[in-house]
Structure 1
């Protein structure tokens, strides 16, 4: 399953997942904001609805990118945000 970062700006980055391209806003995913281009670009798609950034040790459901309001940020512990459903 292919995944590719196609563009990075100050506010978000774009992921190409098959034939779907989606914006990933840093405001919704703050733990990705300080990542380098190399770290963001190193994204794996181990399953249909799962993305993994090994250099950042970040796992995300693709559904959480499509509908971030359904997965609100509820706490910040140990220096990172936790998103729960």
Structure 2
């Protein structure tokens, strides 16, 4: 039984500001300002990336899934989080005084 086919993807460079992915013949920058969940990742975690379909990237060591379009056009995919909207859910956020 044949294995799952994956497309060629490679991390080509990592800097303090982000990292670059080579998807076939296209190189894309993932700046940490737009993709903060990669900021503390190790080189091994960043470079262990799969490209199982044309619009799907997966980092199994980080359990992160991204659309290729979100990497190409991060401005079209703003980061939205319920945790960020609720200070009571943030561990480091100051708590409001109770009456």
Q: Same fold (TM over 0.5)?
A: yes
Aligned partner of 2:81 among 63, 75, 78: 75
Post-superposition shift, 1:75?
A: 1.4
Q: Which runs of 5+ in 2 are unaligned?
A: 1-6, 84-88, 91-99
* Aligned counterpart in structure 2 of residue 37 of structure 1, from 43, 46, 50: 43
Q: What is the RMSD computed on CA atoms of the aligned residues?
A: 1.4
CA distance in 2, matches of 1:25, 1:53: 16
* In 1: Cα distance, 2:82 partner to 2:55 partner: 24
Pair member with larger Rg: 2
- Aligned position for 2:24: 18
Does 2:2 correspond to 1:6? Answer: no
Query: Any idea what SS the aligned residue of 1:14 has?
Result: strand
Structure having the higher helix fraction is 2
- Report the structure, 1 or 2, having the larger strand content: 1
Q: Give the aligned length.
A: 79
User: Unpaired runs of 5+ in structure 1?
Assistant: 80-85
TM-score by length of 1: 0.88
